[in-house]
Amino acid sequence: MLSQAVQDAINEQIKHELYSAYLYLAMSAYCQANNLPGSAQWTALQSKEEVGHAMKLFGYINDRGGRVLLQAIDPPPTEWKSLLAMFQQVLEHEQKVTGLINGLYTLALKEKDYATQIELQWFITEQVEEEKNAGEVVEQLKRVGEQGPGLMMTDRHLGKRGAGD
C-alpha cells in the first residue's frame, strides 16, 4: 500500500504529465498554424507519449491499492517567438519534469517505498532521453537559423519521428 504522501505526490505528477501532454498539443497546433508539419508531428507524438506516462502512473497507483485523484490542469501557452524559442521551452520543461521525478524518487527513499523507487527508475531513464532529444533539436535549430532552407530541412527531419524509431 502506498503512503498518503507518496500517493499524493504521484497524483500531482499525473497532473504534470497531463499538463506536458497539453503543452505539446498546443505546440503542435502552433506548428500547424505556422506551416511546420514535421514539428507538428514531433510535438503531437510527444503529447501522446506524455499521456502514456500519466497512464503508467495512474495504473501504478491502482496496482498499489491507492486512489487516483485527478487535478485541474493549467492552460499552456499557445504562441512562441520562433520554432527555436518553442524547442528551448521544450528543453526547459523537460528539465523541470526531471526535477519533479527526482523529487518523487527522494520522497520514495524517505518513505522506504522500494516498489515506488523501482517504478520511478523507468521515469528517470526516460527523462535522460527526453532532455537529450530536446537538447539536440535546440542545437540543430541554433545552427540552421530562424528561417530558410535549413529550417525547412530540420522540420522535415522532425516529421520522420515515429516512422521507424
What pLDDT score does 56 carry?
98
CA dist 112 and 101 (Å) reads 16
What pLDDT score does 157 carry?
87
CA dihedral 14, 19, 21, 25 (to 10 degrees): 160
CB 77 within 8 A of CB 26: yes
Q: Position of cell 502552433?
A: 30
Tell which CATH architecture fits domain 4-72+80-148: Up-down Bundle (1.20)
> What sections of the chain are H helices per DSSP?
4-33, 37-63, 83-110, 114-144, 149-158
CA dist 11 and 7 (Å) reads 6
CA dist 91 and 60 (Å) reads 27
CB 146 within 8 A of CB 36: no
pTM: 0.94
What pLDDT score does 147 carry?
80
**What DSSP line would sit under 22-43, residue for residue?**
HHHHHHHHHHHHTT-HHHHHHH
Length of the chain as a residue count: 165
Q: Position of cell 491502482?
A: 62
pLDDT tens digits for the chain (165 residues)? 899 999 999 999 999 999 999 999 999 999 999 999 999 999 999 999 999 999 999 999 999 999 999 999 999 999 999 999 999 999 999 999 999 999 999 999 999 999 999 999 999 999 999 999 999 999 999 999 888 888 888 989 899 876 554
What pLDDT score does 148 carry?
82
